[in-house]
Structure 1
Amino acid sequence: MTDWIKAINPTAVLETESQALAATRASSIGMVIGAARDAVLAWYAANTGAEATRLAVDQMTQRPESAEQMQAATQIGLAGAIFVVVLQLMLAVVHWRKPTSLLPLVFLMLVVWALGTGALAMLYALGGQQTAAQPMGLILMTLATMSIAALLHTTAIRGAGRLAELRKLGTS
């Protein structure tokens, strides 16, 4: 357990190969956190968010076929979100088994994007806009989970570099 606590700390000195490996595997935990966040957002979009969108489209268009099209689009979006969640979980397993710096780099870029859009959503909601896409609770959840994931991916990138260095030196 202490190896994990030390490994997740991005400023800890990684002296052994096992510590560097644990730090590199931290990205897998970040991927699982991202998948959980995406699952919650997909559930919201398919339930509460879909109903609010359907009502707004029905009011604007006054055509019932638009509401039916929105329901079909919601189902397609939910299927896409489920695919993304499953893909993230599969990549987390792949990274856990064969850790490198590639997946943490890619996921760090995605996390930075999510943090940026979350920050913009918060500014939009705090600006008094009545049509914010998500409730404040979901926006705060995104900011919190993606901040943790960014920390984990950054730790993993650092750990992968140290792991490669230790393996090159032949030290364990």
Structure 2
Amino acid sequence: MSDWIKAINPMATIGTEAEALRAARASAIAIFIGVAFGIVGVVVMMNGGMEAMQSAVAAQSAGADAQVASMTGAIVEFTLYMMIAMVVIQLILGFVQWVKPNLVIPILFIVLVVYGLGSTLLGQVMAGQMDVPETAMNTAWMTALGIAVMVIELMLHIAGVRGASALRKFRDAQAY
């Protein structure tokens, strides 16, 4: 257990290939945490979230023409299917990172997590200003949990980058 705690620490030193492999797999663990959070989001969306989103979209398009207003159901349904697709894609990338750790997947997810954190925090700061609605689409607990999950994922992906980098160095050294 202490080996895994050391592996997920983004500041720990990596001295062996086994430690590098565990650290590289920390990124896969972060992806699986994201999958679990995504599943929670899908469940929330299927249990009342779709109706809340449909009413919010309808309220936003109240002054628009009838054609735009009639598309609210399709927009909500498309959003649900995209959420499910993103969970499946994350699951596949998590398995790839676990089986064959590489540097590309953790870097990609670092960029996505930083973007997600920035847009979530900016959305909270901008709520109520200009034309941004005062209430967020997500509940407060979902937003707070999302921020916490993204911070944990960021730390694990950083450990994954360090581990994949060290793993490549160890394997290159063995090749010579």
Q: For the superposition of Structure 1 and Structure 2, which TM-score range results when normalised by the shorter chain?
A: 0.7 to 0.9
Q: Distance in 2 between matches of 1:17 and 1:115?
A: 32
Q: Does 1:96 align with 2:98?
A: yes
- Evaluate the alpha carbon distance shift between residue 56 and residue 160 of structure 1 in structure 2; reply closer, same or farther with a 3 A threshold: closer
Following superposition, the deviation at residue 82 of structure 1 comes to: 0.5
TM-score, normalised to structure 1's length? Answer: 0.85
Following superposition, the deviation at residue 84 of structure 1 comes to: 0.9
Q: Distance in 1 between matches of 2:171 and 2:94?
A: 23
- RMSD of aligned residue pairs (Cα, Å): 2.7
Equivalent in 154, 159, 164 of residue 160 of structure 1: 164
Please name the residue that 1:40 is paired with.
40
Q: Larger RCO: Structure 1 or Structure 2 (Cα < 8 Å, ≥ 6 residues apart)?
A: 2
**Range that drifts further, 48-57 or 61-70:** 61-70
Following superposition, the deviation at residue 165 of structure 1 comes to: 1.4
Q: What does the per-residue CA deviation read over 1:34-85, in whole Å, with 9 as the maximum and x for residues that have no partner?
A: 1222232333344434323333455525999866532222122211111110
SS at structure 2 position matched to 1:130: coil
Please name the residue that 1:52 is paired with.
52
- Evaluate the alpha carbon distance shift between residue 87 and residue 63 of structure 1 in structure 2; reply closer, same or farther with a 3 A threshold: same
Gapped regions of structure 1 (runs ≥ 5):
none
Please name the residue that 1:25 is paired with.
25
Q: Distance in 2 between matches of 1:37 and 1:6?
A: 24
Following superposition, the deviation at residue 14 of structure 1 comes to: 0.8
Following superposition, the deviation at residue 90 of structure 1 comes to: 0.9
Gapped regions of structure 2 (runs ≥ 5):
none
Q: Distance in 2 between matches of 1:66 and 1:109?
A: 33
Please name the residue that 2:173 is paired with.
169
Q: Residue 162 of structure 2 aligns to which amino acid in structure 1?
A: R
- Evaluate the alpha carbon distance shift between residue 67 and residue 48 of structure 1 in structure 2; reply closer, same or farther with a 3 A threshold: farther
Kept in 2: contact 1:108–1:150 (CA 8 A): yes
Q: Distance in 1 between matches of 2:156 and 2:144?
A: 18
Percentage of matched positions with identical amino acids: 37
- Evaluate the alpha carbon distance shift between residue 167 and residue 64 of structure 1 in structure 2; reply closer, same or farther with a 3 A threshold: same
